[in-house]
Amino acid sequence: MLKNKKLLMIAAASLMTLTTSAFAVVNGPYVGGELGWGDTHQGNFTSPGLVSEIISGTTTILSGSSRDTGIAGRIFAGYQFTPNWAAEMGYTHFSNATANSQYSQTGFFGLPGTQTYNQHGTVTTQAVDLVAKGILPLQGGFSVYGKLGLAYLAASQTIDGTMTNTFLGSTTTSPIHTSESDHRIYPTFGAGVSYDVTQNVVADVSWNHIQTVSPFDNMQNTDLVGASLAYHFG
């Protein structure tokens, strides 16, 4: 009986060793794609836009709605130098943020009467990142990792709508169309859990964040939570 227990323990240890080595992903170049849910944090504006507008006179908010979350995707390529270190570059595209607003004001830039604005805005956001990736392998093909680097964040907005001016019972309506864009380099970081499906295929879930650093920036932070598959060549 004791001999059988020893044989069973040896067999279990051997199987664990084989399983761990079978799951060990190969070092070298890799490519992959990620799909998930993104947040561009653009939902806190009443009149959508990247650049703050100075409004003179008295403003009354009549209605407003916005959406700044949605499906986002990231494609990436990297190189794993050791089981613990890799470098990676990625491109992320977020769902467009949209907003609708209606507001009125008096004395805008000295205009007589009351101006009523109906506007629809769209903000498009995308980013290119370059990060270092620290990896901690665990048992059974699992790993946890953290990423730190820089991201080039670019956003552009378009506003369309109408402005209706009412003065002494007379009403005139004018179209509105503006567009602006901004782009900056910001720090980015993230964390995730991965699983080595084979020596070449890795699946993971992760969180990626781009952090704006200046209170004067009109750009906003971004977040992406998603699942990805990567193929390691080797």
DSSP of 28-94: EEEEEEEEEEEE---TT-SS--SS-----SEEEEEEEEEE-EEEEEEEEEEEEEETTEEEEEEEEEP
pLDDT tops 60 at residue 72: yes
Average pLDDT over residues 36-55: 62
Q: Looking at per-residue confidence, does 18 or 148 come out higher?
A: 148
Mean of pLDDT values over 68-90 = 96
Quick one: average pLDDT of 4-27? 51
pTM here? 0.79
Question: Burial level of 90, CB count in 10 A (0-12/13-18/19+)?
Answer: buried
Most confident of 98-107, 149-158, 224-233: 224-233
Confidence label for 96 from pLDDT (cuts 50, 70 and 90): very high
Kindly state the average pLDDT of the residues 174-201.
Answer: 92
pLDDT confidence tier of residue 90, bands split at 50, 70 and 90? very high
Q: Which residue has the higher pLDDT, 76 or 4?
A: 76
Q: What is the mean pLDDT of residues 50-77?
A: 69
pLDDT value of residue 111: 66
The more confidently predicted of residues 5 and 218 is 218
Look-up: residue for tokens 């004791």?
2
According to the per-residue pLDDT averaged within each range, which of 41-55, 66-80, 116-130, 174-188 is highest?
A: 66-80
Strands 97-106 and 114-137: antiparallel
- At 179 the pLDDT is 84
pLDDT at res. 167: 76
**Per-residue pLDDT at 182:** 86
Q: What's 39's domain CATH number?
A: 2.40.160.20
How confident is the model over 159-183, as a mean pLDDT? 83
Number of domains in the chain: 1
Q: Which residue range is the domain that position 38 belongs to?
A: 2-232
In this prediction, residue 16 has a pLDDT band, given cuts at 50, 70 and 90, of: very low
pLDDT at 62: 58
Q: What is the DSSP letter of 26?
A: P
Find how far residue 55's CA is from the centre of its chain: 31
Model confidence at 233, pLDDT cuts 50, 70, 90, reads very high
The predicted pLDDT at position 18 comes to: 38
**Residue range 182-186: average pLDDT?**
91
HSE, side-chain direction, 13 A CA sphere, residue 19: 12
